[in-house]
A and B are shown apart, each in its own frame.
Chain A
Amino acid sequence: MLDVAVAYNRFKFLGEEFLTWLWFVIEKDPVILKKADPDLTSLEIGNRIVLEKRHKRSVERITIKGENAGLEEAMLALQKGALVAELNLVYRSDEQKWQFTIKAESLNLSSFKIPKTAVSESPEDMEGFILEKIFLYDKILQFLDKLYKTFIKYRVATRWQKRDISLIKNWCRSVL
């Protein structure tokens, strides 16, 4: 088993490829999203996307933020060889909305907001209140786990070289 520090540095690209693939899936192959969570109504890019391109001794970083920000520059960066380093996503299921940012290098989540729940009015209600919150966090975490699992299964299979890379390349080229 690899040491954590070695695994972190050597396989950082897996997280970046995952988020890049996820952006492609959102745009071009949403059936995968629905398979991962049948309750999903929509998954959209939110208010922040960060791309990074590594050179030998430096990292070029492109950040696009703000509601309704255009993704043209992000796509241009992708065409120049950058990968997604951070992605803010909006998940909707019926009337409920979740929003969070996922970081490629660690798969950590931040700015994680879940739908509002009824406020606990007594200490006796507290356990149910907390369990409802956990359920709402878990919904997204399980969804992301399934997507990551799908990505990794594709990534270690021959289909990645034979099929997925060219699909993503074509998508990059076709947008601008």
Chain B
Amino acid sequence: MSLLSASVSITRYKVEGQLETPILETIAAGLNKNVISEIDDRSLEKAVGWTSIEKPYQPDFTGSAFVYGNYLLFSLRIDRKTVAPKVVRKHVVIESDRRLAESGRPYLSRNEKERIRDQVMDRLNATVPSTPNIYDIIWNYEDAILWFFSNLKAANEELETLFLRSFDLTLIRLIPYMAAHYTSDLTDTEKDILLGLTQTHFTG
């Protein structure tokens, strides 16, 4: 559980939009719809989905298992398989040589080479176990604020995409302008001034 680590990273989001009531059931449905699927015996290279915070390898969103006080807690899991490029090259060369010997032709077409590479990747991916990466999420539904326990660009992008697909809600990263616009209680006039600001120079 990354949120219990000795040192953490946090990216903050504003959640925009409203869920259908009953809210907890809608959220559970969104989580179940995109729950992580195991890819270890399959040819897939990557899987992205939701998982339970306490049991990330046995996701369970039944009842209110993801509710902790006023917060909703779950995790984003990204499983990825990595095959060393030299291993891929070796199997592609072996397979290409075998096809050439069988056909008696001196060369393979571009399409044939691509097909061989895809087949080799599928075969290798089916034998390689995936490496899971788990990133915790704390969602304060009432305040429409979400904390994501990672600053990694790729993980944040996966979160934003999956969140929209699962709940039909947009996550707005609270970068300086967005934090000023959404969470600083500015009046409309102040928001207009904000839009026109330019950098201050403290020298001179």
Contact digits for A91-133, partner B, Cβ 8 Å, 1 yes 0 no = 0000000000001111111111100000000000011001101
Query: B157-190: which residues lie under 8 A (CB-CB) from chain A?
Result: 172-181, 183-186, 190
Instruction: Give chain B residues whose Cβ lies under 8 Å from the Cβ of A14.
Output: 176-177, 180, 197
Q: List 17 A-B contacts (CB under 8 A).
A: A4-B178, A7-B175, A14-B180, A79-B203, A83-B202, A106-B11, A107-B179, A112-B9, A112-B10, A133-B4, A134-B68, A137-B8, A148-B183, A152-B180, A153-B184, A165-B202, A169-B202
Closest approach, in angstroms, between the C-beta of B64 and any C-beta of chain A?
11
Q: Is B54 an interface residue (CB 8 A)?
A: yes
Tell me if B197 and A155 are in contact (CB < 8 A): yes
User: Which residue on A lies nearest to B192, using beta carbons?
Assistant: A156
Tell me if B71 and A134 are in contact (CB < 8 A): yes
A130-B3, A133-B3, A134-B71 provided; 10 other pairs, C-beta below 8 A? A10-B177, A81-B203, A106-B176, A107-B174, A108-B9, A111-B7, A148-B180, A149-B184, A152-B184, A152-B194
Contact of B176 among A15, A165, A168 (CB under 8 A): A15
Contact of B197 among A11, A106, A149 (CB under 8 A): A11
Closest approach, in angstroms, between the C-beta of B60 and any C-beta of chain A?
14
| Complexed CA–CA distance, A176 and B195 (Å) | 35
Using known A-B contacts A108-B11, A127-B68, determine if residue A4 contacts B203 with beta carbons closer than 8 Å: no
Number of interface residues of B (CB under 8 A): 44
Q: Is A13 an interface residue (CB 8 A)?
A: yes
Instruction: Give chain A residues whose Cβ lies under 8 Å from the Cβ of B173.
Output: 4, 106
User: Which residue on A lies nearest to B53, using beta carbons?
Assistant: A130
Q: Is A141 an interface residue (CB 8 A)?
A: yes
| Complexed CA–CA distance, A10 and B201 (Å) | 16
Report which B residues bind A (CB closer than 8 A).
3-4, 6-12, 53-54, 68-69, 71, 73, 138, 147, 151, 172-181, 183-186, 190, 193-195, 197-204
Tell me if B184 and A7 are in contact (CB < 8 A): no
Query: A132-176: which residues lie under 8 A (CB-CB) from chain B?
Result: 133-134, 137, 141, 145, 148-149, 152-153, 155-156, 160, 165, 168-169, 172
| Complexed CA–CA distance, A172 and B54 (Å) | 49
Query: A31-68: which residues lie under 8 A (CB-CB) from chain B?
Result: none
Contact of A81 among B11, B179, B201 (CB under 8 A): B201
Instruction: Give chain A residues whose Cβ lies under 8 Å from the Cβ of B185.
Output: 149
Contact of B175 among A8, A20, A152 (CB under 8 A): A8
Instruction: Give chain A residues whose Cβ lies under 8 Å from the Cβ of B71.
Output: 131, 134
Using known A-B contacts A113-B7, A134-B138, determine if residue A106 contacts B184 with beta carbons closer than 8 Å: no
Instruction: Give chain B residues whose Cβ lies under 8 Å from the Cβ of A130.
Output: 3-4, 53, 68, 73
Closest approach, in angstroms, between the C-beta of B15 and any C-beta of chain A?
15
Closest approach, in angstroms, between the C-beta of A75 and any C-beta of chain B?
11
Tell me if A107 and B176 are in contact (CB < 8 A): yes
User: Which residue on A lies nearest to B172, using beta carbons?
Assistant: A4
Tell me if A4 and B175 are in contact (CB < 8 A): yes
Tell me if A131 and B175 are in contact (CB < 8 A): no
| Complexed CA–CA distance, A99 and B73 (Å) | 24
Instruction: Give chain A residues whose Cβ lies under 8 Å from the Cβ of B3.
Output: 130, 133-134, 137
Closest approach, in angstroms, between the C-beta of B76 and any C-beta of chain A?
16
Q: Is A78 an interface residue (CB 8 A)?
A: yes
| Complexed CA–CA distance, A9 and B115 (Å) | 42
Closest approach, in angstroms, between the C-beta of B51 and any C-beta of chain A?
16
